[in-house]
Structure 1
Amino acid sequence: MRKLMLLYGPPAVGKLTVSTALAGKADAMLFHNHLTYDVALSVLPRDNSFEKRKMFSCRLRLYALKLLFECDARDIVTTFCYEGSKDDWYVDALRALCEKNQTTTYFVRLTAEREHLLDRVENADRSQFGKVNSRIRLTEILQTCGYEVSIQADNHLCLNTSSVTPEHASDTLMQWVYHQPLTV
């Protein structure tokens, strides 16, 4: 059965880094949230709120995933910034889409110590995707967004990226999802 792995967590937690490593090991397609969020940024008027851009991006991502299920048989690794119950509509729609396409969903919450997030946010590679890249902005986001909430799901795992490398995190996920032994 096909698998879809959704890695979620706050900015700078390592969603794209871990997902890239996981997709490579699993020979899966990587469809990260910036692919659709960047479209929203480029086509919507600049005065649109973050919430409107996020809604547009999520709806676009769901439609793109529907098309990918039709066109590509590989497993999918995707990312998301889940903010609690206000994002449950997206999680429910994703679950329904996966069920319709006979795909097992796996939810992975990535966490990190606040200081690690603040240290990582200024890494140069974050600007490649127009990500938040200032400690001040990330502090504001962490104070206003509910990133400490987990998605309620049977197939759910939580990984603290403060204590593991992206390589180890992806190995752990390979073992969990595909029942493959951890590499040493």
Structure 2
Amino acid sequence: MKLVILFGPPAVGKMTVGQELEKITTLRLFHNHMSIELVHQFFDFGTPAFERLDRRIRFAFFEELAASDLDGLIFTYVWDFDEPADTDYIDAVASVFHQQGAVVSYVELKADLSERLKRNRDPHRLACKPSKRDIEASESSLRYFETNYRMHTWLGELGQKPLLTIDITSQEPQATAHQISDWLNQR
């Protein structure tokens, strides 16, 4: 069992790269909006009810997946490294899989803000993420995250955790997926 935690800022391409990685490996993708979009139909993003239900759904899936005979999972996440609760969350996700003997790997995606603003309007993104279809609100949120969150690691910040960092500003998702797959196979 493998768990690949694919993280980076909003609209960097986590879901799209995850979909491409899923195509060329035996790993399954659980992108963060799979639960967000479901819960958002009932509760506003960020409310206590939203947070509780989103977490319950995700962790129910994680526990079942980690104990299954699947080869592994790709999970996408926007991680604020200045927010200890985000790191605790990712550690809890990793722990579910570690307890079942899984190998956990971390892949950080980076891209320039101007490129992410373009990707924010991509039809595929909007089709998969209904909550992003209000472009004005989505861009405002993206800019807010950019200004107020630290969504990239500092050198050595993850310690001994296996980390691959890729700047995908001008790289196609398929090439990124192959780069990740090659790295995972070398581990």
Where on the TM-score scale, by shorter chain, does this alignment land: which range? 0.7 to 0.9
Secondary structure, counterpart of 1:167 in structure 2: helix
Aligned position for 2:168: 161
TM-score by structure 1 length?
A: 0.85
1:1-184 alignment, distance < 5 Å: 2-44=1-43, 46=44, 49=46, 53-54=50-51, 56-84=53-81, 85-128=84-127, 129-132=129-132, 133-134=135-136, 135-149=139-153, 152=158, 153-179=160-186
Q: What is the distance in 1 between the residues matched to 2:161 and 2:63?
A: 22
| Worse overlay, 165-174 or 35-44 | 35-44
Whether the aligned pair in 2 keeps the contact of 1:3 and 1:75 (CA below 8 Å) is yes
How many aligned residue pairs are there? 177
Q: What is the distance in 2 between the residues matched to 1:67 and 1:53?
A: 21
| CA RMSD after TM alignment | 2.2
Aligned pair in 2 of structure 1 residues 15, 55: CA closer, same or farther (>3 Å)? farther
| Worse overlay, 6-15 or 90-99 | 90-99
Aligned pair in 2 of structure 1 residues 29, 14: CA closer, same or farther (>3 Å)? same
Secondary structure, counterpart of 1:71 in structure 2: coil
Structure 1 stretches of 4+ moved >4 Å: none
Aligned-pair distance for 1:124?
A: 2.0
Q: Which runs of 5+ in 1 are unaligned?
A: none
- Note the alpha carbon deviations across 1:37-92, whole angstroms, 9 max, x for none: 12221233x3x635763454234212211012233422111111111223011111
Q: What is the distance in 2 between the residues matched to 1:149 and 1:56?
A: 28
Aligned pair in 2 of structure 1 residues 95, 137: CA closer, same or farther (>3 Å)? closer
TM-score by structure 2 length?
A: 0.84
Whether the aligned pair in 2 keeps the contact of 1:82 and 1:147 (CA below 8 Å) is yes
Aligned-pair distance for 1:131?
A: 4.6
| Worse overlay, 77-86 or 148-157 | 148-157
Secondary structure, counterpart of 2:169 in structure 1: coil
Secondary structure, counterpart of 1:4 in structure 2: strand
Secondary structure, counterpart of 2:116 in structure 1: helix
Aligned pair in 2 of structure 1 residues 54, 126: CA closer, same or farther (>3 Å)? farther
Q: What is the distance in 2 between the residues matched to 1:32 and 1:136?
A: 22
